[in-house]
Amino acid sequence: MEDCVFCKIRKRELPSTTLYKDDDMMIIKDINPQAKVHLIAIPNTHVPYIDMMTEEGINVLAKIISKISHCQEELGITNGYRLVVNQGEDGGQTVGHVHIHILGGEKLKDF
């Protein structure tokens, strides 16, 4: 929490390019993009892993997914996109705060 990069961004202690923000979530540009458009959707409440989320937290994730689907043009992903959640060390999670990567803006490679 105190050392969480996403919490610091939310509190404006670290810079970011914020595309959307409300009482529950924010969408920012990734500083190390892996696609033409690489954004990160972050719940405001700090929870390290999905399996630690309350029902309220799960509802915020649903709101995030809904917001993404309704803001495709503003986010630059009108021709399709990929949502990625890395869960735990083996899943490639490097920041201990639940977040969703939004990748698009180009034809994405299969993985």
Closest CA to 33 of 96, 111, 106: 106
**Range list of H helices, the chain:** 5-10, 55-70, 72-75
Burial of 28 (0-12, 13-18, 19+ CB in 10 A): buried
Q: Which residues are catalytic?
A: 99
Q: Which amino acid is at 35?
A: A
Structure tokens at 72: 């495709």
Integer angstrom CA distances of residue 21 from 25, 33, 51: 6, 20, 24
